[in-house]
Amino acid sequence: MSEISGHTKLIALLGSPVEHSLSPAIHNLSFAKEGVDAVYLVADVTPDTLENAIIGARALGLAGLNVTMPCKTHVLQYLDGLSPAAELMGAVNTVVREGDKLIGHNTDGAGALRAAKEAGITVSGKKVTVLGAGGAGSAVFTQAALDGATEISVFNVRDEFYDSTEVRLAELTERTGATLTLYDLADEARLQSEVAESVLVVDATRVGMPPFENESNIKPEWMKPGQAFMDTVYHPRETKLLKLAKEAGATAIGGLGMLLWQAALGEKLWLDVDMDVAYIEEKVFSEAE
């Protein structure tokens, strides 16, 4: 911070609440390591104040933005364009300045699949199962479709959004060529059969985080070597799902990888910076669970 000058670029996270976000620690450490003259701050912004925040970002010349809940869908109306992934997801978590325009991207799904790739798992031409059709789950199954997965099975509780999710999956099937199918998360027999055929299974539900840290949607007898199981939860670092996957000889991929790689993709978009993900993980998340 002592090196801030008239040339320092500013990037901000918009959302609410944001005071406990890990993003400032991640990005400011990365900027310092790579010698980038930029700082990353947070601003508590709600959907009611979001329009003014975007107007302010334009006027002040911010180099970029992150957007988190509850603003990821509301921000679309205030931007000048969307990446293909953001347009299909209907949500933005990264905003990039291109000249005098602000373009919305979504790096959540790409971050998850990059974490999978780092673990040796690719989805092109293969089957994927995703549990949860909310923000994280939607980002993952949309990106998997864009990345060439042939079949994607999505499981969700039968809530008030179930029917609209089914319609959205049909639209994604038509637009991407992948076959996306929605199932009831309560249908255990179907879940078992879809998991058995999948190279990657992603749990994007709240199961695994407190107070559900001792629970797993996937039973150990369904797991086998050659498969990968990812949890979008990163607190605790090792969820029940990941522990069971390791015991079964399968590949276990924690939510921290998704968090770090979506951040790394953001830095590449904003400033063409290649984040040293391993270094950031060691420095920011070295404390034991």
Exposed e or buried b per residue across 88-120, where buried means at least 16 C-beta atoms within 10 angstroms of its C-beta: bbebbbbbbbeeeebbbbbbbbbbbbbbbeeee
Report the alpha-carbon distance of residue 268 to residue 248 in Å, rounded.
36
Two structure tokens written together for 251: 């590949």
Residue 9: active-site member: no
Asked whether the beta carbons of 65 and 43 are under 8 A apart, the reply is: no
182 contact partners, CB below 8 Å, separation of at least 6: 133, 154, 155, 156, 162, 165, 166, 169
For the chain, the C-alpha Rg in angstroms (whole number) is: 19
C-alpha closest to that of 113 among 232, 243, 213: 232
User: What burial class does residue 124 get, using C-beta atoms within 10 Å of its C-beta: 0-12 exposed, 13-18 middle, 19+ buried?
Assistant: exposed
Catalytic residue among 72, 126, 127, 240: 72
Task: Return the SS3 of 155.
Answer: strand
Give backbone dihedrals phi and psi of 188, rounded to 5 degrees, phi first: -65, -40
Burial of 49 (0-12, 13-18, 19+ CB in 10 A): middle
Q: Which residues are catalytic?
A: 72
